Chain A
C-alpha cells in the first residue's frame, strides 16, 4: 500500500520560499509520477504541478514562474519549492501519486497547512 507524507515548515514569511517534501513509502518514486495540489482554507482544489518519474515537469501556468519540483530517488522523496510567497499562498498542501493516461491522483498524503504571515 503506497503512503505519502508531507513535511515542512507550517509558517513562512511573505516574500520567502515555501519548501515542502513528500516522503513515499510502499513503492519506488522511480516507478511513478507525482503531483502537488493545494487547497486554501474553505476553498477548492488547485493543481500546482507534477513531476514525471524521469524528472521532467509540468506546472500550473499561473504558478509556473515560482514553482520548482524535484525528485530525490535516494530518499524516495520529491519536493516542492514555491518562491515569493504571499498570503494568497496560505493553504493545505497535498502531495499525490499521478497515474496516466487520465492524470488521476490515486494516492494522497494527509496534507500540511502552510500559513504565510509575518
Chain B
C-alpha cells in the first residue's frame, strides 16, 4: 500500500521543536518531500529528497526518512509556521499525499 498517514494535528509552543510524522510501508526506501500550506494560499515546498531545503526556506525546517516513517522537524518554531503540512511520496510514477497535519503554535 502507498497510503501515507499523518497525525491530524500537532501543537507546539513558540521557540520549541515541532515534529510531524508521515508513515507508510517502506517509506524510507523512497524519497519524501514536505509542503507547507497557509489558509487561502498554495502549498509551498519546504523539504525535498528527504532532507534537502529549497532556496529561501529557513534552516529551522529539516527532514528525515527511515524505515516506515518520514519526519518534518521545525526547530525554534515561530508563529508564522502555523499552517497545514503535507508529506508526499511516489511509487511507480504515481504521486501520493498524506492527509495533512495542522500545526498550531500556542
Contacts and interface: CB of A to CB of B under 8 A. Distances in A.
A99 B31 CA distance: 12
21 contacts: A44-B97, A44-B98, A44-B99, A45-B86, A45-B97, A47-B95, A47-B96, A50-B95, A60-B95, A99-B48, A101-B31, A102-B30, A102-B32, A102-B48, A102-B90, A104-B33, A104-B48, A104-B88, A106-B45, A108-B42, A108-B44
B43 interface: yes
Nearest to B96: A47
B43 A105 contact: yes
Interface string B8-48: 00000000000000000000001111010100001111001
Contacts of A35: 95
B49 interface: yes
B54 interface: yes
Given A101-B49, A104-B31, 9 more contacts: A45-B35, A45-B43, A45-B88, A47-B94, A47-B97, A60-B94, A99-B48, A102-B30, A104-B33
Contacts, number: 60
A106 B54 contact: yes
A46 B97 contact: yes
Interface of B: 30-33, 35, 37, 42-45, 48-49, 54, 86, 88, 90, 93-100
A109 B33 CA distance: 18
A65 B37 CA distance: 29
A110 B31 CA distance: 26
Nearest to A47: B95
B70 to A, nearest CB: 12
Contacts of A45: 35, 37, 43, 86, 88, 97, 100
B43 A108 contact: yes
